[in-house]
Structure 1
């Protein structure tokens, strides 16, 4: 029988307490829209601050209209975004046009602001192949449906950027549930080993569909998992657009300067269901939790900040809302006018040369579609 050691080998509590102190939540604006971290304020002009707010308001309206269109049967798959505007839009605002975006299925707004036409975003929701065809000047992949798979893809894209000597980055997004997938660890480990210019954003909205984040991992934060891969990790108040912007911009600068990838955990909340495919958040979230996060609304917080600087008015917001509604109306009309997707389209888009088993089927569907 082996002898017992006299001294404790590891003081787990001391170890975990030390880790916790290294990953405290980064914040610039508190819930009242007040600056609590002046030293970290990003260098944004008044016009840039207004533009960030415009994009966030527009995105909130897009979410509301998309939910309505989904209920009318005019859209297909849709994952609501309200509550995550600061996390999504402010992080994208810190990028450059040449950067490569690899979104998850909730991250269509980033694609739109990166250059994907709105009507094509609607076609993506409908499962139409045109919704997955990125314009030539848009560096992006279609939203990933497989949870976490985009992390491995991002590591590869980032390595390609590095090998080509380009001063750009690859950025990807997933939720807290994605951070529980094997692809998450493989992606950050690979990117770290090669110092690939990647930014991995985990939008911790507290519930992976319905499982609380506390039941997904024993780790105090998701951000601290970066240390195991030897990359920079930071936890950010994901309802604070200035904090999200500053953290992402700094991560981009590190990446293009050859200092490797970063993992950014944004603490946020989705006000709606996981998707419009039947999820009911009242079954796993309390009203108290929802009220707590509604008080942290990123639009309200940023609006208060801008109003204190005389940079935003109710009239400004109404103009954005009216413009968004009109553009959405025109985009859905354009999506409606797109030729319906056919089975032969699916087959021909998948194969340059048809395998033997599909040659006969192709002819059968051609005949059906000609009638």
Structure 2
């Protein structure tokens, strides 16, 4: 096996050497003027990318740590929260809410389908004492891109807190926290922000911050009152020891994203996703996700009949050194997943499609190869 594996997974994503090597520079002490400007600049850049003028904190955790931070700080035990489930990570919000003794009311959708505003409105009518709604922006288990703007308009009118898990979506899909009336947006470093894992992000509206001040956080490490106190010091800092090396890489990645422009980054990922989908259609491979909510972050592909998706993943990884992802949860035995984000471009998509064809030929699905590569080349050639 080639240990220099190309990650075509939806997180962690493939990163280039410039970003990785930024994390190899000598450490700085996190409570000095050497580190504080970098920390503050990362927060400022992230606010611009989230498109918020309000509060943003770094949790130095995975995205799940950010989800727990939101629940622990925004709700009193016993309060009702509507948890919209469009896949495994929507279900995770339900689990976290119940762990903090909230009354979680799941709104479940068949996997591959997106959330509908009318359903959320119906649930709010049935439970007028709901205090918050959680929605996964981009659900990597199912390939669903939930459209948040209309949900935000509804919840803003109802004065209900709107929390979104944007771990795999923010930085890769168009997102506007303030204009969409999102009260709490969560993300992490290892996906759209093109950085190794280790930094979580939690952004809050003024309405959400006012609720934080009224809630007794049932925890210590993720208590945002500590974070705000340290962020407001003359030398801004993090209340605990941060992931300093990851912060170096994050700063480099944020500089690059802003230099390119977030709109251009999202358009690039859309181009890659369209090329991949064109190739899949040429190979008569079907997409698991419903057409109206398909994500440009990744594509979830139904494995051909008679071929377990793990065989496809293994063949491409072991023979060619490219790692695509298997399925999750209830569709583990049905699908495989290919990302279209990271520090990748057309050549990585073309290579992955070609290697997928070779794997499918070896596994008996294809008699000849080349249709997928031809389709993706044509897609890229005609894209603007």
Q: State whether TM-score is above 0.5.
A: no
Q: TM-score, normalised by structure 1?
A: 0.34
Structure ranking higher in strand proportion: 2
